[in-house]
A and B are shown apart, each in its own frame.
Chain A
Amino acid sequence: MKAINRRQAFALGGGFVMLTVLPMAADAEVTNDAATWIEKFTGGKKPAKGKISLDLPEIAENGNTVPLSINIESPMTVDSHVKEVMILADGNPNAGVATLSFTPLSGKAEASIRIRLAATQNVVAIAKMSDRSLFSEQKTVKVTIGGCGG
């Protein structure tokens, strides 16, 4: 058998490093009470994908103020409108961020707020429509400096 030369040894080593580091970075673990919040809001029903556009920066340099914009597709009439939208951060000490309540008088189901994020994590939005259907969307935000203070 041929002995491994220097170049191959480096390639192998690099491969191992990638293998061990990547899976950890890919799924940030849910460490807080996000599941309880979701359960309470949805009543165990599984939300469908779509309708929501959630606008967050991909990388937030300062976790103390991360701009968040949300827009939900809806005619916003008395018969068909968005009732409530829950926003959660699954890596904060407490999952809850805000719960927005809309009415037909809102005209558009659109809002912007600024939130705190403790670390790189997913931000989840779940919308409840007037016909009780549910929609959800989530975005991962990379946070450089955490915003919950130690």
Chain B
Amino acid sequence: MADKPRIKLPKEAAKGEIIQIKTLVSHVMESGQRKDAQGKTIPRKIINKFACEFNGKPVFACALEPAISANPYIQFDAKIDEAGTFKFAWTDDDGTVITAEEKIALKA
């Protein structure tokens, strides 16, 4: 099982503020181009999809190809109009989904 993904975002934001979210997940992102010592191609195994939702509404998504570096780092922005929960999901080629959640509050 992969390590817990690392997510960085502020704990609270003013209404209407645009915040920056940084995510990093541990994954080999095997491109399917490399060969092992016996000359056999190492099969492709990558995270092919990343999605971020806020209170059930899509914020940002990303289709990934083998040309994404190992341990994919994705940084994007989100506009905060209400307090709520971010849900993050990374989908592997083999169908497993790594998920994470982060809460954000509105500044008083």
Contacts and interface: CB of A to CB of B under 8 A. Distances in A.
A52 to B, nearest CB: 16
Interface size class of A (residues with CB under 8 A): 20 to 34
Interface string A79-91: 0000000000100
A148 B68 CA distance: 10
A115 B69 CA distance: 5
Nearest to B42: A149
A116 interface: yes
Contacts of B60: 100-103, 106, 111
A64 B70 CA distance: 8
A100 B60 CA distance: 7
A113 interface: yes
Interface in B52-85: 54, 57-70, 72-79
A79 to B, nearest CB: 15
Interface of B: 18-19, 31, 33-35, 54, 57-70, 72-79
